[in-house]
Structures are given as C-alpha cells and as structure tokens.
Structure 1
Amino acid sequence: MKLYAVLALLLVVPQTAISIQPQEPASKASIEGTVVQAGTAKPIQGARLTFRSNADPPGRTAPGPFAPEPMVSIDTDSQGKFTIRNLDAGAFHMTVAANGYVRQEWPEARLNLTAGQTLKDVVIELTPAGVVYGVIRDETGHPAVDIQVQLLQPRYKFGGQRSFQKARSAATNDRGEYRLYYVTPGRYYLAASSISDRFGLMRLAQDNPNAIQDNFALSYYPGVADFRSARPIEVQPGADSIADLSVHREQFYKIRGHIIDSRTGQPPAAVTVWVESEGLTGDNVLLKSDTTYNAGDGTFEVRDVPPGSYVVRAEFPEGGGPALSGKRARGLTRVTVFDSNVDGVVMNIVAAASISGRLTIEGGELSGIPADFATVRSLPYSQALNPDGTFRIDDVMPGEYQVVTCIAMVTNSAGCIRSTPDFYLKSARFDSTDVLNKPLQFAGATPTPLDIVLSPKPAQIDGTVLNGKQQPAANIQVVLIPDRNRDRSDLYKLGLTDSIGHFTIRGITPGAYKVFAWEA
C-alpha cells in the first residue's frame, strides 16, 4: 500500500461573542414533557436537555454562518419532568443525556417552533447503556496488573481506510479486573496491552514502585493477536457483558543505523531521533522508547521496540544544525520489526522547502475570511492564508502529497473537528499539472505554484437507515464511497444516523457514489 502525506487546507474561523437583547415573552415558545427509560416508562431524574438554535437572534454581534449557536440547558426533576420557556421561534437541535443512558439527539428538522407555541406532553425515551467487564490474565493464569483495556468500534476514515473509534477505556486493578461502563449498545471489539501507545493514549494507570511493569503484547478478545480472529462483543441495553482474555509477554527489539546530512555528506553534530507507529485509530502516535545518537560516526540506536511497522524520524534540535535559507532539515525512513533486531538503517537529512500558491472560490473571492493554511498529519505547521487567497506552506519535505481542503470552524493538529460543508475541492494544479486525481510530486525548492479552486455548489444526500426489523437504526455510521478516483480521500464522506435513523451528508463533490451502512 502506498503511503501519502497529506496537504490540507484549514480555514479556521475563530469563535465570536454574541449578545442577545431581551424580547417580549409573548413572542417566545415553550416545551413541556417527561424523560423516561425506554421500555419501562420509568422517569429519569437529572436528565439534561440542551437546545441549540441556528437562527440569528436579534442583537447578535457577529451574524453569518460562522457565528456560534445560542444554547439553553435544563435538568429534569424527580418525576423526570421538564419545562423550558422563552425559546425563540425557529428550528432547534435538541440533545438529551443522563448518566447510565445513551445520549439522544434530535435534528433541526424534527423540532421547529413558532412564536407563542407551547409544545406539551413530550415524552422522550432514553435507552439504558451497557457494561463490559472481565479479568485479564497472563499466560500463567495470574492477574495482569495495570493492563490498558480499550473498547473499540470499527469505523471508516476519509479515504475508505478502516480504523477504530475508541468507545471506552480503563486499566486493570491488582486482581486483573477492569470495568467499562456507560457503553452505548452495539457491536464492539476489546483490545488489551501494557503499551498504551498502541491506543494513542497516555498511560491510564500510575506507575507503582511495588509493581513489576511487564511488557504484554496487544491482544484482542478472546485472547488472539490477529484482529481478523477477534470475536465481537454485543453490548445489550442495560445489560452486563463479561469478556475475559489472556495476554502474552512480548519481546522488545532494537533499530540501529546511521544518519547522514545530505547537504554536507557528514553525520550531523546533533540530531533528535524518535519513532512513530500507527495506532488503532489510524493516527500516528509517538512510541515511548530509549534512543541514543553518536555524533562521531552518525550511528543511532532505538531500544525497546515491539514487533510492528514504524516510521523513524530525525531532525535537528530547535536552533541546532546548519541552516539553509532558514529552513529546517529532517529525515525519515520506514522500518518493520518482526522477531529480531533491525540493523543497517540509513537515514538522510534533507532540507525542507516551501510551496506557494493561491486558493480561489469559483465565482467569487476569498477575501475577508480569516484563515490558516496548514499541513496535517506529517507536517504539523501552520501559515497564514492571505486575504487575497495566496499562501505559502513552509517546511515541506520532498515526497508525494495528496491535496485535501477542509474549511473548518474548529481544528486541531490532526485536522478538522467540525467543518462547514459549503464547498468542495474542484481543482488543484501544481506546475500546470493536475494534482487532484494523482499525487503531488514535490522534489524540493521550486517557484512552481499550487493553484486550488473551491466550488460553493456541493451536493447533499439525505436518507434513512432501517434495521432487520424495518425499524429506524440509530447511531449507525453511513459511508459514501466514490465509484471512481478512490485514491482521493476528499471524496469519501461520513455520516451518523440520529435517533430516528435519519442522516444527512453534505459537502459532496458531484459524481457517482455508493452508500453503505452497518453496525460494525
């Protein structure tokens, strides 16, 4: 499988304060009802209802699609009842949550209030959450202490790659016991390991000076090393699921080689070396391992590496090493560890360069939108996007890249968290070559511009997912897969059904697709 780095455009719009002027109560709407347990009608005390409106209330200081949504919250009383008043007329998104129950959401299409309307006798049913618990033992049958246990739900990422979504996590106690609670009913896989890096998490348990820190390999329920042999766990509403498994101690190995600065042909005087692996969620995570570097001959050694596939990286420390026009220099190589040490790895330090270009919107200009241009995953550096749409991406290493745009309201170092799907990527050209449907080949410093065009006319799909009983299926992932150009990750879209099985996918590039939905 060919691995691509990703160039991603993040248009980040900062949060803006709002102010709401008081209005006459007569123009307001209200809702009265009860929250109960599904199937029993038992009232739920302390359930929290949250209402969000997309309407622009009078007095908002920052109107427009990127302004924050007004929010109102209320908790149910001892009888499970609630009354919420003084709501503005319009469409609302309602969320209902309670400890021990599955969160329910209602989209704007289901809750549309008119001025002065009182909606009475609303009954909201919440499904009880489940519990997964068990005991983790080693190969001798003894309790495995401080094991990181993860409940995983299969998901699909952009590009059609299968990964896992972390549902719940815990660490075993001195008896090897773990307990995962408040679990949404559904199908899951259970994984356990002493190395929390496999999950991309910080260590869940504190180091105990009186405990032996053993190294246990990643295992899946019911105690297998290969995910393809793992047995799924069906979590039922309000029920306990028992899942015991065995883990096995694993051998650690070393990665050894030498580093050369390609600009001088000599080993660098100082360099930082680290190792990354692909976590269960599909993201790169830093492997906690001991590394040493000898500047005399350029040799390096990485210790305590379990079997797996890794990316070994090297970079001059901040402010160290010879500079080239103010650019950083780095090196990387991919290594697979099986059942022995890996020797003879050669890593060349190469100077980074810049890519300049321009982003335009078809039929309009980009000016006036505050934004950042950032590179994601392998290149976590951000540069400003100018008001006229021009940009410059610094610290780009030679290699193949995929161009992806993401117009985001909220972002982090991994990319979009919440985006507005009002555009789609229509074209991308580098040195007059199409780099939308094939990788961008970057050989180093060049005056060649990257021209990106967004279209403000994306497509949209609405639908409903039913289960085997022809009933609405809630909390089901929907995946949109293109018929052509399946190497383009921007063409893959994800959706999630609401409490009535409805889903909406926006921001779609026009074309032919297939839609899939499944529980796991």
Structure 2
Amino acid sequence: MRTFVFAALLIQASVPSRGSIEGVVKAGTTLQQFLPNARLELREGPGTPIIVRSDAGGRFIFSSLASGRYRLFLTEDGFIRQEYGQRSPNMPGVSITVAAGQQVKNVVFRLDAAPTITGSVQDQEGNPLADILVTAARRTYDFRGRPTLTAVASATTDDRGTYRIFWVDPGDYYVSAGYAPVRRSGNDDETVRATYAPVYFGGVTDPEGVRPIRVEIGREINGVDFRLRRQDLAQIFGLTMSDITRRPVAATITFIPTEDANVARYGTQSSLATGTFVISEGVAPGSYIVVGQSTSGEKLAGFTRIKVPSLPRFFLNVRLEFNRAVPVHGRMTMDSELVPDIRQSRIVLMPAEPGAPSPAAVSPLADGQFVLADVIPGEYFLTVANLPNDTYVKAARQGKTDILETPITIVAESAASLEVRLGSDGGRIDTAILDGENRAVSGARVVLVPDVVRRHRPDQYRVRTSTDDGRVTLRGIPPGDYKLFAWESIEPNAYLNADYLHNYDGVGLPVRIGPGQNGPVQLRLIPAGQ
C-alpha cells in the first residue's frame, strides 16, 4: 500500500501544474457596466483557439493552461473588437505569459461602442437604388510598402436605397458605392439591370481627390450619400488553355482590381470545359489581375494583367494560359561552423504582381534543404522569417542573381535552386519605450529602420511590440546604421513606404548596430495622430 501511494505521489509530482487566466469585461470607459456573454478567444501559436464567454457579471476564466505565451482577443456585437494590451484597433496587443501553475488575474477589458456609417444611394434622377454595394475601405500597405485600399466592411442598400455599415473600428475610411449586375438565375431571358459607375463618397473616382471620412468611437456617421450615373461596362470574352498541351482547361477565374481608383468588386467566374468564359454583365474600367486555376485534372494555374478602358460598348478578349506549378529547391547555410537549429524558420515567396497566387511557406530541414512546392511561373520576392537567435539573411542568390535586390524569376521549364546564406554576426538592442511623462508604454509598435541606402529591402527592418513593462528586444539585426521609432498607432507595413516615413524621419533615434549586444536605449513614443 505504501508503495502504491509513493508511486502515485511521484506521478502527480511529475505532471506539470496547470495555469489560468481570469478577468472581467466592462462596457465603456466611464459607465463601467459589466458585459455578459462577450466572446473571448485565447490563442497560443497556430493551434485551435480556446473560446469562453463572460458570465452574467462580466467575469471569465481560462483554466487548465499549459505554460506558454498567449494572445487574448474579445469580440461583442456593437462594440469595438479588442486584443489584450492593444493601444488602438489596428495595432497588435501584448501577449500574456503563463508560467507552470501560475494564475494570471485581473485581466480587464473596457469596451467602447463601435461606430456605424449610414446613408442612401440614388440614381441621376433622384430615385432610390436597391441592391447597391457600399464598401468602407482603409488605406493599407502591402509587404513592399505599396499603398492600396482594402475593403474592411460593406452593406447593400434596401428597397428605399438606404444602407447601414455596422460596427466598424474608429479611423479614416474611403466609402464607395457601385453595382456590377449579376443574373440571379441561369435564365438567359432574365432582364439585366442598368449598370452604374462605382464612385467614392463625394462623387469622384480618383482617390487622390477623395478625403476620407473620420469615424470616431461610438458615433453614427450619417449622410454618406451617393448619386450614381449610368455607365456602359465592358464585356469580357475569355479562353483558358494549357500552355503545355495547347488544349482548353476548365477553370475558376478571379478579377482583382490593382488600382486604388477601382472600387469595383467581382465574384469568382468559371470557364466551361471548352475553356470559354463570358462576363457579359460588364466589368468597370480599370486595371486588373486575372487569376485562373484549373478545376479538374492536372493542377494548373496562370495569371495576366488587363486594362479595361472607359469606352462605350467596349469588349475585350482575354487569353489566360496555364502552366504547371513547379517545385523550387533551395538550401540555407551559415557563414560560420556553428549552425543553430533552423527548422522553425519559414521561407516564403511573395508574388511581385499584387493579387497573384502565392505558394505555401515551408521550413528547412536540419541540413538546410527546403522545397517550395507548386510555384506558378512568374516573379517573386523572397522572405525568410523566424530565424533563430541573432542570425539574419546575409545573402541570397538564384544562380548569379542577387535575389535580395531583385525579384526571383520562376520559369516553367526549370527553376534554378535558391541559395540563402545566414549571417552569424547579427546584433541585438534593448529598448525602453516612454511617453511624454516618462511612463513605460506597452503595446507600442517599435520599428528599426535601416539607413536610406537599404530602405528598399524589407529584410533589413526589425519590428516588435513593447511588452507590459514598456520594453522590447530587437534581435538578428544586420550590422549598420539605423533609426528607431515607436508608434502608438500605425498601419502594418506603413513604415516601408518612403512617403509615409518621410513625415517622421526627424523624430527617429539614430543608432549604430554592431555584432552582439548593443544599447540599451530609451525611445520616446510617437502619439497617435501625430
């Protein structure tokens, strides 16, 4: 009996203690009413999130948690969605660290009412228009810092021509309205509605002449009205075929606008087994990436750019040639004999053409070998993430081409292997973020920007979010000259845009990074709206 009890105690002692996170949800920063039934989502890495809801008193608890770093998100109808530690809606939050057996308490969410955008849509004669899509978009930046407009919310008008876009985050929005008619059945005799040119609020199509609508916390923005004019849209006739066999291919086709001025949105189309497709209902003027993927047989894909002019009764023939996806082999090596574990690193090829299909990211094997599968021929930019310790990408080549300075070219016949060389002499720097009253700031976006000569290379930047104590460590930095910035609120990748960064260049903190440990330094927060 004593042996059994002793063994049970040993087993119990060997099982790691489980932790918990608990707190409360309150509605508003002034009324402080407890909010029941709010949805909370806890994530640790890419696995399945844990979801709970707050009780009648607004309380919540996540129990039986393994040790680790967690991110906590909250959503509730009528309120601005929020991540724990978030300083503004478009900024990342702060992770919660749970040690073995630790009970993290007093996590408080204070939710503000979400804004709403309302208005009406009429034709040129002042008649209400139903089934018009109204879209609210925000200025965003892609992985190269190129500005674009990204739709974040939408609504359709009712039979009175009115609409309501519910519960958007505070910020600046470009609101547009437009209609690309689509038959609701397969009846060819069905009447096609009149088409209307898509426009931004204010009646213009050029975003350079559009002023965004400022949406504040808890406000309802009324009077965002539109008057649309009729427009002849272009008819598109197309053929999808294999570039290998020169035979037709049944496929799905997607039209992706590439210009800020183009507020049109289109659903996925399909070609027949004969490879033909027709978009007789019309496509608005503008530039598009047309992307196609085969729906049967061998996996094929292709894309092309088209430009639709603003001309009456215009039609365009589109020929979309599909190629077989090819594997791209590569190897990752070190510039020293000491080789760290690189198996958690991620190699990504991002298409140079916005909207083009991107292959899945991969991780290298222990010996550095990797294979990117199903890469469609075209041009791509190389991105390497999650490198260990203070390593960084020192050089990368495809044959004799430096693929850190120019895109990678993938051809159908064969793709030259990629050689990625890692540097072991990367630097690191500890930074403390302070506000105007010298208080530590958590949730700030801290960005290390390289000197002007290297600013066209995203791999030279380092980005982190300050923790609860206002500190952040940036690692794996190529030695050289930099400037440090800490924003309270900034759109992702905006710092990669030269025009955007020019407005803040004078407030950056110059630092010189050498191998190993640098700093520490203190950095002043750039307040939201500055």
Cα offset, 1:90, TM superposition: 7.1
1:223 CA displacement: 2.7
- Once the two structures are overlaid, the 10-residue window that deviates more, 331-340 or 134-143, is 331-340
Deviations 1:54-103 (A, max 9, x none): 6xxxxxxxxxxx684884734132x4345676667776544344332223
Secondary structure at the aligned position of 1:309 is classed as: strand
Q: 2:356 aligns with which of 378, 401, 424?
A: 378
Q: Does the 8 A contact of 2:171 with 2:214 survive in 1?
A: yes
Structure-2 change in CA distance of 1:331 and 1:193 (3 Å): closer
Is the aligned partner of 1:433 residue 2:412? no
Alignment of 1:3-18 (within 5 A): none
2:469 and 2:449 mapped to 1: Cα distance? 23
- Residue 445 of structure 1: how far off its partner (Å): 3.1
1:450 corresponds in structure 2 to: 418
1:477–1:139 Cα change, 3 Å: farther
Which residue is equivalent to 2:194?
Answer: 214
1:25–1:476 CA distance, 2 compared to 1 (3 A): closer
Of 75, 82, 96, which residue of structure 1 is paired with 2:54?
Answer: 75
Q: TM-score, normalised by structure 2?
A: 0.63
Partner of 1:140: 125
Q: CA distance change for structure 1 residues 167 and 460 in 2, over 3 Å: closer, same or farther?
A: farther
- CA distance in 1 between partners of 2:101 and 2:342 (Å): 41
Identify the residue that residue 101 of structure 1 maps to in structure 2.
Answer: 79
Alignment RMSD (CA, Å): 5.6
Q: Does 1:249 align with 2:230?
A: yes
Query: Structure 1, residues 187-223: CA drift from partner, whole Å, max 9, x if none?
Result: 2221222139xxxxxx9x9789999633222211133
How far apart, in 1, do the equivalents of 2:329 and 2:198 lie?
A: 44
Structure 2 distance, partners of 1:420, 1:146, is 52
Preserved contact between residue 380 and residue 408 of structure 2 (Cα < 8 Å): yes
In structure 2, relative to structure 1, the CA distance for the partners of 1:248 and 1:501 (3 Å cut) is farther
| Aligned CA distance change for structure 1 residues 463 and 383 (closer, same or farther; 3 Å) | closer
Q: Among residues 316, 339, 353, which one is paired with 2:311 in the alignment? A: 339
Match of 1:278 in 2: 257
Shift of 1:175: 0.9
* Pairwise CA distance, 1:174: 0.8
Q: Cα–Cα, structure 1 residues 269 and 183, in superposed 2: closer, same or farther, change >3 Å?
A: closer
The more displaced of 112-121 and 91-100 is: 112-121
Alpha-carbon separation, structure 1, partners of 2:267 and 2:410: 28
Query: What's the counterpart of residue 38 of structure 1?
Result: 29
% same residue: 24
User: How far does residue 481 in structure 1 lie from its aligned partner after superposition?
Assistant: 5.7
> Is residue 404 from structure 1 mapped to residue 390 from structure 2 by the alignment?
no
Contact 2:342–2:388 (CA<8 Å) still a contact in 1?
Answer: no
Counterpart CA distance in 1 for 2:236 and 2:154 is 31
Q: Which residue of 2 aligns with 1:364?
A: 339
Evaluate the alpha carbon distance shift between residue 390 and residue 236 of structure 1 in structure 2; reply closer, same or farther with a 3 A threshold: closer
Match of residue 184 from structure 1 = 169
- Spell out the pairing of 1:385-396 with structure 2 (5 A cutoff): 387=365, 388=367, 389-391=369-371, 393=373, 396=376
| 2:213 is equivalent to residue 233 of structure 1 | yes
Cα distance change, pair 276–498 in 1 and its aligned pair in 2 (3 A): farther
Larger RCO: Structure 1 or Structure 2 (Cα < 8 Å, ≥ 6 residues apart)? 1
Q: How far is 1:394 from its partner?
A: 5.2
Distance of 1:465 and 1:445 partners within structure 2: 55
Q: Is the 8 A contact 1:132 1:179 kept in 2?
A: yes
Letter in 2 for 1:360: M
User: Could you tell which deviates more after superposition, 219-228 or 359-368?
Assistant: 359-368
What is the correspondence of 1:139-158 to structure 2 with a 5 Å cutoff? 139-158=124-143
Equivalent position amino acid for 1:98 in 2: E
Q: Which residue matches 1:12?
A: none
C-alpha separation in 1, matches of 2:209 and 2:111: 34
Greater CA drift, 375-384 or 179-188: 375-384
Residues 348-406 of structure 1 show CA distances to partners (whole Å, capped at 9, x for unaligned) of 95866846432315353778669897775535556987745142655643x54433345
Q: What TM-score, normalized by structure 1, do the two folds share?
A: 0.64
Amino acid at match of 2:55: T
> How big is the shift at 1:438?
1.6
* 8 Å contact from structure 2 (residues 250, 294) kept in 1: yes
Which segments of 5 or more consecutive residues in structure 2 lack a partner in the other structure?
A: 1-11, 86-92, 491-527
The 8 Å contact of residues 287 and 305 in structure 2, kept in 1 or not, is answered as no
Asked if 1:171 corresponds to 2:171, the answer is: no
Q: Give, in angstroms, the shift of residue 428 of structure 1.
A: 1.6
Cα 1:510–1:354 change in 2 (3 A) is farther
Distance 1:318 1:37, change over 3 A: closer
Q: Which amino acid aligns with 2:214?
A: E
Q: Which residue of 1 aligns with 2:508?
A: none
State the distance in 1 between where 2:139 and 2:213 align: 12
User: What are the superposed Cα offsets for residues 271-321 of structure 1, whole Å, 9 maximum, x if unpaired?
Assistant: 5685633267999986667989999xxx998642321113457888855xx
